[in-house]
Amino acid sequence: MTGAITGIFNILATPFDASLAVDVASLRRLVEFQLDKGVYGLTILGVLGEAAKLTVEERQLVMETVMSTVNGRVPVVVGTSHAKIETCIELSQSAFAAGASGVMIAPPRMPGASDDDIIALYSRVAEQVSGAIVVQDFPPVNDVIMSAPMLARLAETIPNARYLKLEDPPLMEKIGAIRALTDQFEIFGGLGGMFLLEELRRGASGTMTGFAFSEVLVVVYEAFKAGRMAEAEAIFDRYLPLIRYENQPIINLTIRKEMLYRRGAIANPALRPPFTPVSPGTLDEIGWVFARVGISDPAQKIVL
C-alpha cells in the first residue's frame, strides 16, 4: 500500500471478546467504522491498540486483518515497537511486506541511553527496511526523553525517518523547537486530539489519536487547511468537553473503548489487564457529556 502519511489518522483500538481473545469480526467492523468517518489513514498496534498485551502472533493477526479489510483504501501505519530490537525489525519487515505505508517505533526502555544510542537504534532499523519510519516520542511508555536537537539530528541523519508522532508535552513548545532546527519532519500530534488546532497552527501535518469521534477531527482539520479558521475553531470548541473527558489520564483507554462500544463500532469494550476500570458514575457521565455537546445518538455519524 502506498499513500501520503498526513492528516487525521485514527489509532485503532484492538477489540477483544468476552474471553479476551482478539475479536476479528469487531476489528473488521471497527476498520469500516473509521473509514466511514473519513479518516485519512489508520495507525494500528499502538498504545491504544494494547500492543504490549499481545503476542507476536496476535499482532500479526491484527495487522493482517486490518490490511485485508482496508484493501488499499487508506494508508496504514503499523506500530512495531518491541523490547527486542530484532523483533522490532522482524515486525517492521512483515508490516511492509503486507503493504503498510509506514511503521511507528518508540525506543525500548534504555536506562542511561545517550542521543547517539537512540539515533543508532533507529539507524539499525532503517538499514533493514526501506519504508517510512514514524518516530514515536511518548516518554510515558519507555521513560526515554528525546530532545528537540536530537530529533532534528535524527531526521537529518536517517532519510526514511521523516515522520514524528509527538506526545511529549508541552507539545506546541516542542513542535516550535523542532521546526526551528529542521524542516525534514512531518509532525503529528496526539494526546487525544486535545491540542489539534494549536498543533496545526505550529506546523503539524495532522494528528494520530484514538478519539472515538474521529469525524469531528476530520472536519476541524479540513476547515483549517481550507483557511476557514473561525469554522475550525467553532467546531473544535464545541466538542472540546468530549475530547477532554475522553482523554482522562489513566482511564482514557477504558473510556474510549466504552465510547466505541456505544457507537456500535465494537461488540465488547473489554480491555486486557492491566487496566484501570471505571466506576458507574463515570459511565453515567459519558452520556451527560454526549448531551452537553449535542450528541443524541452516538451510533450516528456526526454531520457538521
Q: Which residues are designated catalytic?
A: 165
- The DSSP bridge partners found for residue 11 are 43
Measuring CA to CA, which residue among 217, 216, 219, 238 is closest to residue 228?
219
List the alpha helices (DSSP H) in 159-251.
171-179, 196-201, 214-225, 229-246
The distance from CA 143 to its chain's CA centroid, rounded to whole angstroms, is 19
Spell out the alpha helix ranges (H) of 129-188.
Answer: 139-142, 148-157, 171-179
Using an 8 Å Cβ cutoff, are 3 and 41 in contact?
yes
Identify any residues that bridge with 133 across adjacent strands, giving them in sequence order. 103
C-alpha 261/C-alpha 15 separation (Å) is 10
DSSP H or E stretch at residue 137: strand 132-137
